[in-house]
């Protein structure tokens, strides 16, 4: 009864909040609404984050990631609707509004040659004033291309490494750890579909082709109620639509990979302003395992063992009022073959749809998505004990957004269903297996209230796990106070849960096998003497920060954060016995397939950004502490990097600004590792009936304190030069880059058996060429 009362209370609170917000939205009958989309006339792509105003009034809005704007609560009358953007002509449209009327407008901006820096700065400031923006970075393809790129190939995986709070563990098989959370705690989506492994085995490249990215919202913590099912971070990637007016494409090649992009209309226009279906197709393939035998034989005489292929396709249908339907699919493949050690390959496929509906008689904007994706990974090891993991299922969601002046109410539902299949052998030869089906159902509501100085964004999410018969009630909040025109204070936080766990241990120093499990049965019943209430992983976030516009061109952002991981599940590397009655007297941590852990991640970040004319400068510093407690010991996980510094500089040269010179220097203090105390012979480890007089044992290692030591510091300098040549609508780009310019020997791992040090990638010069038509 107590549980039923608690659930009823939360539902009543949520319903009351919804009714109050809905009542607030109804006070529009005496006013009018003008809404619509802003597009690039040349390509048909939406113009993001630009200001649309009713000239001479205080009424205005900033377009979102789809180019959508909504100006509500406007008194009846005649107005001039105006918008401008960097590099585009200003457009002005006369509108006549009546009480209760809703007008939709399609604004097509035409490119021009002169710069409008003041408009771009104004739009950015308006967004900063009206959005909480704690621990979130919105990334575009243009920003990714501003960084020096490995092999001349810009990629979001390289860009993420310069964000505050993001730790990258290495060039080879490196994963991204975001403010103390392991990779499985990060939710990654492509056009609304869940992507289970977004990074290739050579950790410098992702599965996302840079040229098709419209925006990527990276939430490093404190994300609001529209996201759930993960307890650390979210990366939400949206792709652009195909070109509306003509067939265009891009072809590129370098020693690392080749790329192809094609896009264009699938019909003829009946008028200048109508829309036709469009297509978009991208493909990239790495042949580094072959080219490195010739060009980089000094790194490995047998060649660098990495290869991958990524395919993505999309068809878009758009109406004149902005409603849109997208159909898309992908296939990502990856393989790495470490000779005489392991051969690892994975394959990821998926297809889905997303849509936007703009009702004619309502201020509501409806967004939805549905898709199916599957991921399978296999590792063949030299010891003959294979690992295999697969996960597949669908996810779908439906969101509704209501606009009331500068306020916004968003609510929706989400459904996720997947199955996992996992096989693994631990270090003492015990076989671990799991097959399970899982379903998650969620509902959320979020309201953003904006006043002259204050932005308040409360949210609430109910996450139900039918497979586990658990319900998680997750309040969220965001807050911003505009102290002055240039200084803004902000805070965010919330409660989070997830059922998905990694088929790898956070204690592994090097692990390219990245599989998944869900809600395992073989968990300990207690943790530190207390009975476990459920199998979910849980965390609480609290973040705060300050934004300071030092000048028109210098932005300073500083944040502090705490992530309290109150329950985590990890693979049990210490299992010795099967969980059978005859071993009931043995400790649980020696019998169970999985262990329970708690932990914390806390620290502070600083980011300074300067952008003016030909210069782009970016500096970040992160101070982070990460701890884990498994009930037996407290330790620092192997991604606990205390200090992380990134310095990025890009300079555009030449009268036509067709030369670009860029550099990035990264410093990171050493990762934790477990030191070796000694070696011994394991005579009877797998053969209790053996004869010590005529048998040799395997080499055993005596370990010291778990992660009690620290590896040497990491630092690397990457540099690049680009030259661009334009002939009409055709463009040719040549690039030269050097990765690890001063050939720093950064440690990858130490092979204890062979007693040799294995380093990260050495200096890698590269030349690439790209042709765009």
Q: Which residue has the tokens 């097509």?
A: 108
pLDDT of residue 641: 95
> What mean pLDDT do residues 506-531 have?
75
pLDDT of residue 434: 78
Confidence tier at 729 by pLDDT (50, 70, 90) = confident
| Of 26-35, 187-196, 288-297, 561-570, minimum mean pLDDT range | 26-35
Cα separation, 705 vs 726, whole angstroms: 60
> What mean pLDDT do residues 518-525 have?
76
pLDDT of residue 676: 85
**pLDDT over 80 at 487, yes or no:** yes
> What mean pLDDT do residues 718-722 have?
94
pLDDT of residue 586: 62
> What mean pLDDT do residues 35-59 have?
89
Question: DSSP labels for 347-367?
Answer: EEEEEEEEEEE--TT-S-EEE
**pLDDT over 90 at 464, yes or no:** yes
**pLDDT over 60 at 7, yes or no:** no
**Segment 629-678, tens digit of pLDDT:** 988 889 999 899 999 999 999 999 998 899 999 999 999 999 998 888 88
Which of the pair, 624 or 271, is modelled with greater confidence? 624
pLDDT of residue 323: 92
Decide: pTM greater than 0.75: yes
Q: How do 554-571 and 615-629 pair as beta strands?
A: unpaired
pLDDT of residue 235: 96
Cα separation, 531 vs 132, whole angstroms: 38
| Of 313-322, 482-491, 526-535, minimum mean pLDDT range | 526-535
> What mean pLDDT do residues 500-525 have?
73
Confidence tier at 48 by pLDDT (50, 70, 90) = confident
**pLDDT over 90 at 574, yes or no:** no
- The dihedral over CA atoms of 407, 413, 419, 424, expressed in degrees to the nearest 10, equals 30
pLDDT of residue 118: 43
Cα separation, 90 vs 355, whole angstroms: 29
Cα separation, 207 vs 278, whole angstroms: 22
Q: How do 387-404 and 407-425 pair as beta strands?
A: antiparallel
**Residue 375 class from Cβ within 10 Å (0-12 exposed, 13-18 middle, 19+ buried)?**
buried
Note the Cα 544 to chain centre separation in Å. Answer: 21
| Of 429-438, 549-558, 649-658, minimum mean pLDDT range | 429-438
pLDDT of residue 28: 53
SS3 390: strand
pLDDT of residue 556: 96
pLDDT of residue 5: 44
Cβ-proximal residues to 22 (8 Å cutoff; 6+ apart), any chain? 402, 409
pLDDT of residue 477: 96
- Report the mean per-residue pLDDT for the chain: 86
**Segment 304-321, tens digit of pLDDT:** 888 999 999 999 999 988
Cα separation, 124 vs 519, whole angstroms: 43
Confidence tier at 576 by pLDDT (50, 70, 90) = low
pLDDT of residue 113: 57
pLDDT of residue 516: 87
Cα separation, 373 vs 455, whole angstroms: 37
pLDDT of residue 30: 82
> What mean pLDDT do residues 222-229 have?
96
pLDDT of residue 14: 53
Question: DSSP labels for 597-636?
Answer: EEEEEEEEEEEEEEEETTEEEEEEEEEEEEEEE-SS-EE-
Which of the pair, 154 or 472, is modelled with greater confidence? 472
Question: DSSP labels for 308-338?
Answer: EEEEEEEEEEE-TTS-EEEEEEEEEEEEEEE
**Segment 319-352, tens digit of pLDDT:** 988 899 999 999 999 998 877 667 889 999 999 9
Cα dihedral sign for 190, 192, 248, 90?
Answer: negative
pLDDT of residue 305: 87
Question: DSSP labels for 400-460?
Answer: EEEEETTEEEEEEEEEEEEEEEEEEE-TT--EEEEEEEEEEEEEEEEEEEE-SSEEEEEEE
**Segment 350-386, tens digit of pLDDT:** 999 999 999 887 888 999 999 999 999 988 876 667 7
**pLDDT over 70 at 683, yes or no:** no
**Segment 52-98, tens digit of pLDDT:** 999 989 898 888 888 999 998 899 999 999 998 878 888 999 999 99
Confidence tier at 248 by pLDDT (50, 70, 90) = very high
Confidence tier at 754 by pLDDT (50, 70, 90) = confident
């Amino acid at each position: 009864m107590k549980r039923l009362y608690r659930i009823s209370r939360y539902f009543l609170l949520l319903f009351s909040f919804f009714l109050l917000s809905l009542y607030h939205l109804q006070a529009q009958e005496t006013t009018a609404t003008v809404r619509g989309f802003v597009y690039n006339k040349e390509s048909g792509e939406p113009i993001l984050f630009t200001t649309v105003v009713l000239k001479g009034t205080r009424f205005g809005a900033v377009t979102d990631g789809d180019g959508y704007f909504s100006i509500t609560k406007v008194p009846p009358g005649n107005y001039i609707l105006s918008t401008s953007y960097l590099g585009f002509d200003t457009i002005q449209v006369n509108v006549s509004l009546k009480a209760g009327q809703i007008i939709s407008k399609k604004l097509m901006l035409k490119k021009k040659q002169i710069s409008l820096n003041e408009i771009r700065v104004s739009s950015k400031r308006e967004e900063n004033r009206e959005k909480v923006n704690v621990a979130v970075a919105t990334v575009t393809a243009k920003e990714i291309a501003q960084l020096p790129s490995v092999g001349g190939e810009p990629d979001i995986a390289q860009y993420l490494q310069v964000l505050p709070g993001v730790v990258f563990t290495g060039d080879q098989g490196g994963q991204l750890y975001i403010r103390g959370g392991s990779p499985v705690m990060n939710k990654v989506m492509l056009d609304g579909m869940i992507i289970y492994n977004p990074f290739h085995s050579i950790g410098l490249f992702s599965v996302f082709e840079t040229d098709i990215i419209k925006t990527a919202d990276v939430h490093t913590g404190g994300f609001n109620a529209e996201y759930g099912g993960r307890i650390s971070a979210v990366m939400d990637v949206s792709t652009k639509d195909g070109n509306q007016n003509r067939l265009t494409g891009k072809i590129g090649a370098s020693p690392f990979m080749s790329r192809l992009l094609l896009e264009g209309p699938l019909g003829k226009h009946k008028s200048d302003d109508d829309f036709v279906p469009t297509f978009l197709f991208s493909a990239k393939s790495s042949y580094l395992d072959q080219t490195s035998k010739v060009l980089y034989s000094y790194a490995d005489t047998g060649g660098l063992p990495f290869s991958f292929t990524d395919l993505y396709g999309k068809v878009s249908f758009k109406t004149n009022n902005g409603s849109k339907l997208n159909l898309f699919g992908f296939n990502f493949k990856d393989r790495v073959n470490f000779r005489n050690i392991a051969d690892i390959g994975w394959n990821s496929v998926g297809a889905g749809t997303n849509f936007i509906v703009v009702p004619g008689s309502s201020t509501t904007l409806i967004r939805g998505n549905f898709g199916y994706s599957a991921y399978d990974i296999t590792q063949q090891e030299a010891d003959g004990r294979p690992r295999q993991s697969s996960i597949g299922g669908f996810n779908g969601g439906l969101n509704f957004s209501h606009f009331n002046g500068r306020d916004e109410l968003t609510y929706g539902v989400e459904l996720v269903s997947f199955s996992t299949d996992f096989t693994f052998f631990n270090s003492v030869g015990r076989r671990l297996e799991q097959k399970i089906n899982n379903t998650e159902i969620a509902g959320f509501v979020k309201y953003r209230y904006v006043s002259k100085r204050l932005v308040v964004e409360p949210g609430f999410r109910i996450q139900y796990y039918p497979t586990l018969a658990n319900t998680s009630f997750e309040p969220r909040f965001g807050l911003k106070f505009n102290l002055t025109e240039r200084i803004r204070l902000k805070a965010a936080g919330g409660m989070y849960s997830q059922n998905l766990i990694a088929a790898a241990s956070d204690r592994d120093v090097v692990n390219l096998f990245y599989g998944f499990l869900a809600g395992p049965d073989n968990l300990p019943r207690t943790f530190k003497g207390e009975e476990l209430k459920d199998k979910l992983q849980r965390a609480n976030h609290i973040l705060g920060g300050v934004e300071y516009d030092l000048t028109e061109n210098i932005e300073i952002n500083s944040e502090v954060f705490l992530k309290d991981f109150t329950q985590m599940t990890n693979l049990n590397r210490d299992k010795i016995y099967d969980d059978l009655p005859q071993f009931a007297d043995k400790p649980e941590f020696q019998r169970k397939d999985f262990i329970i852990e708690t932990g914390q991640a806390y620290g502070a970040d600083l980011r300074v950004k300067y952008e003016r004319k030909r210069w782009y400068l970016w500096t970040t510093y992160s101070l982070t502490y990460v701890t884990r407690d498994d009930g037996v010991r407290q330790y620092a996980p192997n991604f606990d990097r205390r200090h992380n510094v990134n310095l990025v500089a890009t300079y555009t040269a030449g009268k036509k600004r067709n030369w670009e010179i860029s550099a990035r220097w990264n410093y990171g203090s050493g990762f934790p590792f477990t030191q070796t105390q000694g070696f011994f012979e394991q005579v009877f480890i797998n053969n209790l009936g053996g004869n010590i007089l005529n048998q040799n044992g395997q080499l055993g290692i005596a370990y010291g304190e778990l992660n009690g030591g620290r590896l040497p510091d990491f630092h690397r300098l990457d540099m690049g030069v680009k030259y661009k040549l334009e002939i009409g609508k055709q463009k040719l780009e040549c690039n030269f880059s050097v990765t690890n310019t001063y050939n720093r020997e950064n440690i990858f791992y130490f092979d204890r058996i062979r007693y040799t040090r294995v380093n990260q990638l050495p200096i890698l010069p590269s030349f690439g060429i790209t042709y765009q038509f």
